[in-house]
Structure 1
Amino acid sequence: MQQLSNETIGSPPSHRPDRRFRPRLLRAGLAAVLAVGGLITAQSGSAGAAENPYERGPAPTVSSIEAPRGHYAVSETRVSSLGVTGFGGGTIYYPTTTGDGTFGAVAISPGYTGTQSSISWLGPRLASQGFVVFTIDTLTTLDQPASRGAQLLSALDYLTQRSTVRDRVDRSRLGVMGHSMGGGGSLEAAKSRPTLQAAIPLTGWNLDKTWPELRTPTLLVGADGDTIAPVSSHSEPFYESLPGSLDKAYLELNGASHFTPNTSNTTIAKYSVSWLKRFIDNDQRYEQFLCPLPRPSSTIEEYRGNCPHTS
């Protein structure tokens, strides 16, 4: 300090700093640095949010997507068939929290002669990963795929426009799933409403074998032991007929039957969660579970798909 004072005193008057202004200058300089730093931080945060504002939940791991329950606590509400039109009512499962904004949503249809109870395990399992899930009953248990497709869309319209949880749903981020004829119905729904972000037919059945008009990213799940909707005449030709430019995948379960999707199944859940997260939420963190393509294993007979995904 003494050396500084001597140098200051020995300086010509025109170059001698005025002590009275030093604190002010230091404060101004510090404020400018903080402001620039804050601006950079804000811009970086904004850029990250703008890159994907739909990420929900912590970074995924193999354990987290295979777990029976995800990060979110789940609530549910029943929807009576008497209060809706176009489908048979059902159950809505949704993340309990109101602190993470809106969520993407998926409607799920049962198969021929089935009710929502046959696919109810998917409700809390998917909702706990950060989705609003609507497992539905159909108008009759004998409805064909085209009717089930229309009912899935009616259920999504109810969910986003009239349901008690409509404010929790982002109506621009919707998907469909279904088992057997409900799986065929999910293809019909995607054909009718190309704005859907994801479709997952589970051992799907449909007399229409070609779907070149689909624009919705589609994961087809077949079973190697399926004798009702054999993969050779259903899931495989469905997959092969999809446009080559479409994000698509074919998962054939090993040691499985047509009715495997009716009970809790880790492989179905793992890849359904990854597909819905990747395409409904555009969450690139889940790409790692889909690309490179999963290899055959004790639970996977075959997996086909296009990697990396484009949308």
Structure 2
Amino acid sequence: MVMTLNTNALWDFPADRSRQQLAALTYLTAQSTVKNRIDPGRLALMGWSMGGGSLQSAASTPSLKAAIPLAPWDLSDVSSRITVPTMIFGADGDTVASVDDFALPFYNGLVSAPDKSLIVLKDTDHFTFTDPNTTIAQYSVSWLKRFVDNDTRYDQFLCPTPNDPNTVVFQITCPL
């Protein structure tokens, strides 16, 4: 099951967005009309931009199976506290959440994550993540299938590190 949500306010900071993400997961698993169809032991999350709150959610919720921050922007770096498999996407032309200032330091800070990946998309910007993108979909689905479903058949799409012409950086811990 997949759920999307909007923030309470456009300028909510990552800590606020993290609380909103986690409240949505709690609602889905405990109160929603579909709660009986959701396995609370198989939860993951993604977030874009100040959805860098996904990093905060992963740091505070080690029971998550995976996290995928997209062009994460967050002034507080909690990456060293994350123990959840985390795939970070960045955009090589991002002037809002530049790879050098955000995605790369967050990736390097994932010292306790059992598996991690950094994918920097070629010829893209911060708003690339608001449109359909095959590269993002391919690797996100593979990451989620691998870690949420524990389906090792998806390892082949992640390791060895793909030589993808749509990326300028593709780092991943192999073997998964």
User: TM-score, normalized by length of structure 2?
Assistant: 0.97
How far apart, CA to CA, are the structure 1 residues paired with 2:6 and 2:123?
Answer: 28
Q: What is the deviation of 1:300?
A: 1.0
Structure with higher Rg: it is: 1
CA RMSD for the aligned pairs? Answer: 1.1
Aligned amino acid, residue 18 of structure 2: G
Match of 2:75 in 1: 207
Aligned amino acid, residue 208 of structure 1: S
Q: What is the deviation of 1:209?
A: 3.4
1:150 aligns with 2:15: no
Q: How does 1:230-309 map to 2 (within 5 A)?
A: 230-243=98-111, 246-297=114-165, 299-309=166-176
Q: How does 1:6-17 map to 2 (within 5 A)?
A: none
Whether the 8 Å CA contact 1:199–1:217 is kept in 2: the answer is: yes
Whether the 8 Å CA contact 1:180–1:229 is kept in 2: the answer is: yes
How far apart, CA to CA, are the structure 1 residues paired with 2:74 and 2:94?
Answer: 14
Query: Are residues 180 and 212 of structure 1, via their aligned partners in 2, closer, same or farther at CA, if it must alter by over 3 Å?
Result: same
The structure with higher relative contact order (CA 8 Å, sep 6+) is: 2
Q: Find the partner of 2:48 among 162, 179, 200.
A: 179
Structure 1 gaps of 5+ residues are 1-131
Q: What is the deviation of 1:137?
A: 1.7
Q: What is the deviation of 1:296?
A: 4.1
Query: Are residues 245 and 153 of structure 1, via their aligned partners in 2, closer, same or farther at CA, if it must alter by over 3 Å?
Result: closer
Q: Find the partner of 2:31 among 155, 162, 165.
A: 162
How far apart, CA to CA, are the structure 2 residues paired with 1:160 and 1:254?
Answer: 37
Aligned amino acid, residue 150 of structure 2: N
1:134 aligns with 2:7: no
Aligned residues with identical type, % of pairs:
50
Query: Are residues 294 and 244 of structure 1, via their aligned partners in 2, closer, same or farther at CA, if it must alter by over 3 Å?
Result: farther
Q: What is the deviation of 1:212?
A: 0.9
Q: What is the deviation of 1:245?
A: 5.8
How far apart, CA to CA, are the structure 1 residues paired with 2:13 and 2:113?
Answer: 29
Comparing 266-275 with 208-217, which one deviates more in the overlay? 208-217
Whether the 8 Å CA contact 2:85–2:113 is kept in 1: the answer is: no
Matched residue count: 176
Match of 2:84 in 1: 216
Any runs of at least 4 consecutive aligned residues in structure 1 with deviations exceeding 3 A, and if so which?
none
How far apart, CA to CA, are the structure 1 residues paired with 2:93 and 2:113?
Answer: 30
Q: What is the deviation of 1:249?
A: 0.3
- Aligned residue for 1:177, secondary structure, equals strand
Structure 2 gaps of 5+ residues are none
Aligned amino acid, residue 175 of structure 2: P
Aligned amino acid, residue 79 of structure 2: W
Could you list the per-position Cα deviations for residues 108-140 of structure 1 after superposition, in whole angstroms to 9, with x for gaps in the alignment? xxxxxxxxxxxxxxxxxxxxxxxx111012221
Whether the 8 Å CA contact 2:56–2:78 is kept in 1: the answer is: no
Aligned amino acid, residue 107 of structure 2: Y
Whether the 8 Å CA contact 2:59–2:78 is kept in 1: the answer is: no
How far apart, CA to CA, are the structure 2 residues paired with 1:197 and 1:152?
Answer: 15
